């Protein structure tokens, strides 16, 4: 009887990365450093991102600030800011939905 094993998690992560390769620039407030990060999921209420690559990657959820001027989250005790307003993200999502619905 052949023993079948499930694919490793790394296979799915690489496949997901190819399917959604959107990257955004976020700023670490303590150092002012700007990082390019991969977006896992983007909605009006929350943006999920991955900082770093491979085994050292860290997931982070960004939520809108009270005034809606930016999205903010925390990764490993550091504050991370995506400096786009809620309205700008709404326009980005609408534009992306328009591209998905396009048919010849």
Supply the DSSP string of 52-69, one letter for each residue.
SSGGG-EEEEEEE-TTSS
Q: Which pLDDT score, from 0 to 100, does residue 68 have? A: 95
Answer whether residue 76 is part of any domain: yes
Map residue 64 onto helix, strand or coil.
Answer: strand
Tally of structural domains, the chain = 1
Q: Phi and psi for 11 in degrees, rounded to 5?
A: -65, -45
What mean pLDDT is reported for the chain? 83
Within a domain: residue 6? Answer: no
What is the model's pLDDT at position 98?
81
pTM score, two decimals?
Answer: 0.75
Residue 56 is assigned to a structural domain of this protein: yes
Asked, for residue 8, whether it belongs to a domain, the answer is no
Mean pLDDT, residues 67-86 taken together: 96
How long a stretch of residues is the chain? 104
Residue 43 belongs to what domain range? 19-101
The pLDDT-based confidence of 21 (bands split at 50, 70, 90) is: confident
């Amino acid at each position: 009887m052949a023993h079948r094993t499930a694919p490793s998690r790394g296979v799915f992560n690489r496949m997901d990365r190819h399917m959604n390769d959107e990257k955004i620039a976020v700023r670490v407030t303590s150092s002012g450093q700007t990082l390019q990060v991969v977006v896992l999921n983007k909605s009006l209420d929350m943006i999920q991102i991955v900082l770093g690559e491979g085994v050292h990657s860290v997931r982070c959820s960004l939520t809108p600030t009270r005034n809606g001027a930016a999205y903010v989250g925390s990764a490993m005790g550091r504050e991370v800011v995506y400096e786009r307003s809620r309205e700008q993200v709404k326009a980005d999502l609408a534009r992306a939905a328009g591209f998905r619905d396009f048919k010849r």
